[in-house]
Structure formats: structure tokens, C-alpha cells
Structure 1
Amino acid sequence: MVGCLSKGFDIKQLRPSDLTPVAAPRAIGAVALALAPRGGATRVANLRQSGCLKCILPRVFGPQAEAVVVNTAGGVTGGDDLDLRITLAGGSDVRVTTQAAERIYRSADGTPGRIATRVEVGAGARLHWLPQETILFDRAALDRRLHISLAPDARLLAVETHVMGRAAMGEVVHDLALHDRIAVDRVGVPLVRDGVRLHGDADAVLAAAATGGGAGAIATLIYVAPDAAAQLPAIRAMLPETAGVSLRGEDTLLLRALAPDSLSLRRGMIPVLERLATHSLPSVWRL
């Protein structure tokens, strides 16, 4: 990059050795959101946002608030850094979603993009964590952590989805560096620890019968509520052969579902989410 040229300088005389390499711009964003009950509904107590990460809170008629996370960078690539912190005061009722599917693009040098999310759910509060799918493109690199801390009587419905390219576009992911971790605790005691580490040819790995059976989309659902055990038989009856659910504790369900593509997966997950959600799903989830 040349900031200033002297009068009469001929740019055609420039040689590659005359240019100083400039690092590619990186997207950095952070959101800190606090919500609390007030006047019979959950409302914003504090909101700080910076960089490419934003939070929109549309007006919702009813006791449950909705927060929509927006990445104005349009996706994540190598070196990007996104940080989300959400605090729900006791008695809050909140659903969190995203404006669109998060796209993880090719990393030019293999450096992973980083997404870190931490949510504190207070006494008697309820969180519906319902982001749209994460689409991973060929040569993508992602390091992501989701940590949800629950008070003793807090409730949770959470779903995370990985999609390997866009099936409608014929995309195949042969080179991927994915490290994704989910941790759910209750007062510091682990309820769920779930992680995915997939490095190399994702298409070949998921083609094997013991790993994905040819799946191109994978969803993980976590449900923590007093009626978890009672919900288990009905949820099992709703699932296809490529999905399974188990009781991980007296009030904790863990579900994994596989499908050929994101549309098929969403069609199968929406009835389950509608059964477990105490309110309607965000409008962005409607087919």
C-alpha cells in the first residue's frame, strides 16, 4: 500500500519488493447484554456492543424477551474474534437467536476464527438458546466455545447445528479445522460436556457409518427442566432413525440428530423444539 507518491512518480516503476505486506483486516466484535424482569416482562438492564457484533431486541408481545445477535461482518474467517456475554437476572425469560446462519469462510493461512459465548442464567430464569445453523465452507477454521451456567432452578433449551457446505450449491468440505465445545453447568457442577474436533476431510469422515453415515448436517439439543424425564418417550417417538436422545440426569436431555442437509434437519428439529419450548419459536426459524 502506498500512502503518498511524490510528484512525477511513475507507479509503473514499482516492483513487488518495494511493497510492504499489509495484514488482512480482521473482524472483531463484542456484546455484553444483561436482562431482568420488570413490569411483568423481561427487559434490557444493560447493553454494550462494539465492532461487528450487534444485538437487536425486537418488540415481543408477551413475557418472553427476544434477543437477535447480528454479525455485520457477514461471516467469520481466520483471525476473526467474536465475544458474547449474556446475563439473565432471576425470573428472566429470554430466547436468543441469530439474524441468519453464521457462515465460516475459508481461512487463508489456517488461523481459526474465534467465537466465545458465556451465558449466566439466574434463579428461576429460562433461556432458549436458538441460533440458526453454522455453515462451514471448505478450508474453514473455527474455534468456538459456548458456556452456559445455570442457577439451581433455572431452565434451558439450547440447540447448535453444524452444516457442511450448502447442499443446493453442490459444495463439499474436504479441508476443515473445527474445534467446538459446549459446557452446561449448574452452580459449578457439570451437567453437559460436548465437543467436536474435526480436522481434515470432513466429507470423508462423515461418510463413514460409525461417524455420520453420509450426513451433511448435525444438530445437538440440550434440555434442562423438571419435566425432562417425562418428555423423553414423546421425543423419541418423534425422531427419525438418524437421531437419538437420552436422559443425562433426572432433568437433563441430550439429543443428537443427523440429516443429509440443513433443510431436512430443520424440518425434523422444529417439531421437537416446538414441543419443548414454552413459547413460540423465533420467526427466523419458520420454514
Structure 2
Amino acid sequence: MKLLFPRPDGEALQAIVINSAGGITGGDVFALNANAEKNAMLSLTTQAAERAYRAQPGQVASVRNSVTVEPGGTLHWLPQETILYDGCALRRSLCVDLAHDASLLLVEPLVFGRAAMGEALHDANFRDRIEITRAGQPLFLDAMTLHGDVTKHLAAAHIAAGAGALATLIYVAPDAEARLARLRAALPDSAGASLIGPDLLVARILAHDSFDLRQSLVPILRDLSGDTLPRSWMT
């Protein structure tokens, strides 16, 4: 792994995470630790979509990300899609510790095989966890486990109705409540948003494929980020 720092377009320090291995497979271990200092603004993204490839039997990949945001700081956690391939085995976690007055914009897009290539996930193993604390106290926790025939599982109407892509969006800021109506107006029918705290806004978006997901996500992220979406998202 390595980081690139493009010329800044605004106040934030932008960092692009690059997986020089070109993907993730069983047995790989990746870890990223970052800190946004007092009153700083940090924007973390990826160069392109991450790919979780087929793993050998008994091997599981691990991705652990941990970020701390100090008082008055702002974090934009904006990775591009993670694409799950058939046979993948991946454990992933993201831990964000916010100071009492820190702000956060977070998105995690996930793609269940490449629809354009006719891919399906009939044997996959994926476990994901997002944990956000504020001043050391739990603020948000979301966990997902997908195992076995994921495509069949997601086809159920009460689960995902055949969706091939999903995104989790979290916004923590004093103006979260004021953003709710505008966000809901921008969402497709296969999405929803809730204010689960006075300054905590959460949305989940389901889409047919990664293209449709981006069609929804890009305008929303531009708006919530103050039109500072990293350039790598636009290529």
C-alpha cells in the first residue's frame, strides 16, 4: 500500500490510498491508521475500485482501518467501491473515533460481482463492521455477514430484491437534521435515510449495479462534501 497526495482543491488534505497489489485475496493483511489533528480536514479515498478475489480454501483476507478525528476536525472517508468476486473470503473493519465536536462524512460502496460480466456470488465469505465512537462512547455500529450463495440470498424481496450493489452513507455534523429532506429527495426508490441522532444521519442505498449506484451517490456526495469530492471518483 501507499498514499498519494494530489494538489489540494480546497481546505482538506486529500490522500489517495493505493493498493499496489491490485486487489485482495485470501491471506492478505492490510491495515491503515490515520489521524486528523485539531481543526484539520482530512479526505481519504482510493485510486479505483478495490477487488476481493477468490481465496484458497481456509485462507481469509483482513482489512483493518482505524481513524481518529481530534477536536474541531473533519474526516471525509470516501473509498470507491469494493467489488466482491465469487470465492472471496474477506474480513473488513472500520473504526472511527470522533472528538465531541468533530464531523464526519463516510461512505462504503459494495458491489456483489460485476453485472456487466454476468458474474454471480455463489460461494463467498464476507464480514464487514463499521464502528463509530464519539469521545470514547459508542455512536454508531453496523455489521454485515454474507456467506455462501450471496446472489441467492440477496434475491429475496425482503432482503435486497436482487440488487447487485449497496452503499452505506453516514453523516455526522451539526446540520445533519437540516440535510435530511434534501437527501431523501435525491435518493432512488430503493434507498432510505434516517436521522438517528440530532447530528447523525444514516442512509442505505440499493442499486442494480455499480453504475446505477454511482448515479445516485455522486450528486449526494458532492452536496454533503461541499463539492469537494476527490477527482479519482470522477475518472
TM tier, shorter chain?
A: over 0.9
- Pick from 51, 64, 79 the counterpart of residue 12 of structure 2: 64
Question: Are residues 1:92 and 2:34 paired?
Answer: no
Question: Are residues 1:188 and 2:136 paired?
Answer: yes
Distance 2:85 2:58 in 1: 13
Matching of residues 148-187 of structure 1 within 5 Å:
148-187=96-135
Gaps of 5+ in 2: none
Name 2:216's counterpart in structure 1.
Answer: 268
Query: What displacement does 1:110 show?
Result: 3.6
Change (3 A) 1:61 1:217: closer
Gaps of 5+ in 1: 1-52
Name 1:246's counterpart in structure 2.
Answer: 194
Q: Secondary structure at the match of 2:219?
A: helix
Name 1:9's counterpart in structure 2.
Answer: none
Name 1:142's counterpart in structure 2.
Answer: 90
Question: Are residues 1:113 and 2:79 paired?
Answer: no
Counterpart amino acid of residue 160 in structure 1: E
- Pick from 35, 53, 78 the counterpart of residue 26 of structure 2: 78
Runs of 4 or more consecutive aligned structure 1 residues displaced over 6 Å after TM superposition = none
Distance 1:110 1:70 in 2: 27
Is the CA contact (8 Å cut-off) linking 2:9 and 2:228 kept in structure 1? Answer: no
Name 1:281's counterpart in structure 2.
Answer: 229
Distance 1:87 1:94 in 2: 8
Distance 1:144 1:189 in 2: 21
Q: Secondary structure at the match of 1:152?
A: coil
Distance 2:59 2:109 in 1: 22
How many residue pairs get aligned? The number is 235
Query: What displacement does 1:279 show?
Result: 4.1
Question: Are residues 1:207 and 2:178 paired?
Answer: no
Name 1:15's counterpart in structure 2.
Answer: none
Query: What displacement does 1:282 show?
Result: 0.6
Higher alpha-carbon deviation: 106-115 or 74-83: 106-115
Distance 2:22 2:58 in 1: 19
TM-score, normalised by the number of residues in structure 2: 0.98
Counterpart amino acid of residue 59 in structure 1: R
Question: Are residues 1:216 and 2:164 paired?
Answer: yes
Name 1:226's counterpart in structure 2.
Answer: 174
